[in-house]
Structures are given as C-alpha cells and as structure tokens.
Chains A and B, each alone.
Chain A
Amino acid sequence: MSDIKKFMYVNRRAPYGTVYAWESLEVVLIGAAFDQLVSLAFVDDGVYQIVKGQDTTQLGIKNFSPTYSALGDYGITNIYVEKESLEKRGLTLDDLIPLTYEDENDNYAEKDSIKVVTASELAKVLEEQEVLLNF
C-alpha cells in the first residue's frame, strides 16, 4: 500500500450524547499509522468536541477531550473549524483547546493546528479530499 490519499474526518456531533465523536477519534488515531494526508473538520455541534474545560463527572461518562491534544504528536496538523458553527454557538477560537504541533521543518517550533474557516472555504477543502469519513 504505497498509495497516499487525502483523508478528511468530518466531526458533526456533540461529544457526549452519542458515541460518534469518541469512536471517530479512535479511527483518526488508528488511521494515523497509515501515513496518509489527514485533515479533521469540526462543524455544527461537532465544534463542542474541542471546547476547553470539559467536565463529565456529573455525566458518568469518560472525558476523552484530553486526547485531542495528542493529535499533533500523531502528525495530524490540519484541523479546520467552521467559523459559522462557532458563531452560532457563541464560541470563539479562545474557547477551544489549543491544538498545536511541533514543526520538524522549522526547528520544531510549536504551531497552531486549528484553522478557523468559513463554510465556503471549508467546502473548497472538502472538494480536494479523496476520502471523507463522516462522524
């Protein structure tokens, strides 16, 4: 398998309530071992998945949000967040977990992985993809 494809994981749902967000993250982490060109998008209620300060103790459900911070170490550095989805929910970039990576081509400087993009910008990114996984 030498083929390299552009993979995009589209996360559309709130983090708890249903299992999709967590099981999406499991695919992303396993998939990272396949050396593909991977991007993630967070749209609609999916933006809540990467909101800072999640506390699930009252829910009795595992808080898996710290795992997102490991994405940079897995080589996943293209993370798109839809601007309109944030705005509709009264959120800004400051409300999100600061997802970063160390750029090995730039003396391991720490860089932001998150790009806030408009719906039409995201549409262009989606169009460039070869594999779309929707969760």
Chain B
Amino acid sequence: MKLGIQINEGPYTHEASVSALNYVKAAVAAGHEIFRVFFYHDGVNNGTRYTTPPQDDVNIVNSWSQLAKDHKIDLVVCVAAAQRRGIVDEGEQKRNRKDGNNIADGFRISGLGQLIEAAIQCDRLITFGD
C-alpha cells in the first residue's frame, strides 16, 4: 500500500513523532511504500539539526534523518508552519535574509500542496497527533 504520513506535533513533548517513526519502520518492513512524511504545526520542530537531547535519550531528529537515508523517504516540512517556528533551510535563509539555517539532513521545506498531493496519491493518509 502507498502511505502518506502527517505529523502534527514536535519531538519529546508529544509521542506523535516517535509513534510515527515506529509506524514508518514497521510499514517499510512490511513492504509498504511511504510516499511522503509531512510535518505540520509544531511537527516542523522534528526537522531542526540543532536538537541536542541528553546522550542517554533518543535523538528523534537523527532517527528521522537516518530513516530517510536508509529508505529514501521524502521528509517534507511545511514552509508556512516552519517560518512561524524558525525552521530554516538554505533557500529560506536567503529568501528571508536570516543569518543561518537549521534544517536537518534528509528534510526539505515545501508547501502545503505537498500534503494535499500525498492525500491524493496515497491509498491512506495517516495522521499522528491529537
């Protein structure tokens, strides 16, 4: 099955991101296709490489980056939600004249249309969050 994933909450405060990670790993292992993971609302905070949890804690951001690398998964951070919350890639840095960027490996910033496209293209859109 072709699956789209929407994540609405940031890492650590809410279990949504870790649940989604586990779900995506299980879905890939079971032979399903992950068309895209779309990060919305505070979910965009999963996409900053500046996240530095204590060493004995899980690094959720790195886990997503690794998963994207291992299985070529498209991780998309919503641009409108990202701008509000200070998640910046090189393009956004130039466009909004910021003094740096913080997007993590394997993530890209794009528009809400990517969520709608995923909903259209996929057999199921699975949402993680309240």
A30 touches B120 (CB 8 A): no
Interface assignment of A3: CB less than 8 Å from any CB of chain B = yes
How distant is B52 from chain A, measured CB to nearest CB, in Å?
25
Across the interface, A26 reaches (CB within 8 A) one of B8, B80, B120, B125, namely B80
Interface assignment of B127: CB less than 8 Å from any CB of chain A = yes
B127 touches A5 (CB 8 A): no
Binds B, one of A31-39, A93-101, A107-115, A120-128: A31-39
Interface assignment of B112: CB less than 8 Å from any CB of chain A = yes
A-side binding surface: helix, strand, loop or mixed? Answer: mixed
Given A26-B80, A30-B116, A36-B120, residue A19 in contact with residue B111 (CB < 8 A): no
Across the interface, A5 reaches (CB within 8 A) one of B41, B84, B120, namely B120
Across the interface, B116 reaches (CB within 8 A) one of A23, A31, A134, namely A31
A30 touches B111 (CB 8 A): yes
Across the interface, B117 reaches (CB within 8 A) one of A1, A27, A134, namely A1
Bound state CA distance, A30 and B113, in angstroms? 7
A131 touches B125 (CB 8 A): yes
Bound state CA distance, A69 and B121, in angstroms? 30
Bound state CA distance, A7 and B122, in angstroms? 13
Across the interface, A27 reaches (CB within 8 A) one of B84, B115, B120, B121, namely B115
Interface assignment of A70: CB less than 8 Å from any CB of chain B = no
With a CB–CB cut-off of 8 A, which chain A residues contact B112?
A: 26-27, 30-31
With a CB–CB cut-off of 8 A, which chain A residues contact B127?
A: 133-134
Chain B positions 20 through 51: 1 when the CB is less than 8 Å from some CB of chain A, otherwise 0: 00000000000000000000110000000000
Residue of A nearest to B80 (CB): A26
B116 touches A36 (CB 8 A): yes
Interface assignment of B67: CB less than 8 Å from any CB of chain A = no
Residue of B nearest to A36 (CB): B120
Interface assignment of A20: CB less than 8 Å from any CB of chain B = yes
A7 touches B80 (CB 8 A): no
Residue of B nearest to A27 (CB): B112
Residue of A nearest to B117 (CB): A1
